Amino acid sequence: MNTNTVKFGLIGMTALVAAFSSIGALATEFERTVDIKMFAPKNGDRVGLGGRGWFVDLAISFEHPLAATGFSGFQLTGPAVHNNVAPFPGTFSLGIDDRLPGLIVLLDTTAGGAKSCQNIANLFNLTGVTDIKEGSTELWDTWLVGAPNFGVNTVSNILVAVAADLNQDGIFNDAPAVIPDANGDGVCDKSDLKAFGLASNIQKAKFFINP
């Protein structure tokens, strides 16, 4: 072993130690304290009729009190006359959900907006509180797809996650309207979600939207 080999060996080891330290720091910074379960769609499901009438149905458990979840009220909403009306108003559009502003939902067959990078969480119709215990909160959140704007007669992939508390205000209210395509490959997927920063697991399903 000559001097150069020893030198490069040391540099390699230093880089490795630095890499592990930074992974450790990231893991601490974005600790997973939110768990998402997705009841629908499941892998292999053949959903809806004519591209509509299918559901995304979630249970989101936070190891945090209600105030930290970002939840800003119940909603029962939808397009047209259902948008933002009593008794449980909420806005209805592409982008960040006004009721659950940490939620990120990406569908690779979304026809409008930023396509696979477009957060569509504000299309969710039904949001409520399903369990509160000391220091933990469970919310259920459901979308009934009312228009064939998200793929028809096609395979589709859905990804769901809750953004990390990026602005560190103690509230999970940091979802973006559009996820940055971090690796620049023209689509948004799990790697872009991870690069953005998450507080939760990523739920995913590959399913078929019926004609």
Binding site for Ca ion (CB under 5 A): 165, 167, 169, 171, 173-174, 181, 183, 185, 192
CA dihedral sign of residues 59, 166, 27, 63: negative
Least CB distance from residue 55 to Ca ion, whole Å?
Answer: 27
Q: Quick one: 47 or 106, whose CB is closer to Ca ion?
A: 106
CA-to-CA distance for 172 and 163, rounded, in angstroms?
Answer: 7
CA-to-CA distance for 207 and 211, rounded, in angstroms?
Answer: 13
Q: Quick one: 148 or 197, whose CB is closer to Ca ion?
A: 197
- Can you list the alpha helix ranges (DSSP code H) found in the chain? 3-29, 190-196
Least CB distance from residue 174 to Ca ion, whole Å?
Answer: 4
Q: Quick one: 66 or 171, whose CB is closer to Ca ion?
A: 171
Q: Quick one: 77 or 122, whose CB is closer to Ca ion?
A: 122
Least CB distance from residue 163 to Ca ion, whole Å?
Answer: 8
Number of neighbours of residue 147 by Cβ within 10 angstroms: 11
Least CB distance from residue 21 to Ca ion, whole Å?
Answer: 25
Which residue from 7, 30, 57, 6 is spatially nearest to 162, judged by alpha carbons? 30
Q: Quick one: 43 or 168, whose CB is closer to Ca ion?
A: 168
For 116, the 3-state DSSP assignment is helix
Least CB distance from residue 196 to Ca ion, whole Å?
Answer: 11
- Token pair, residue 15, equals 């880089």
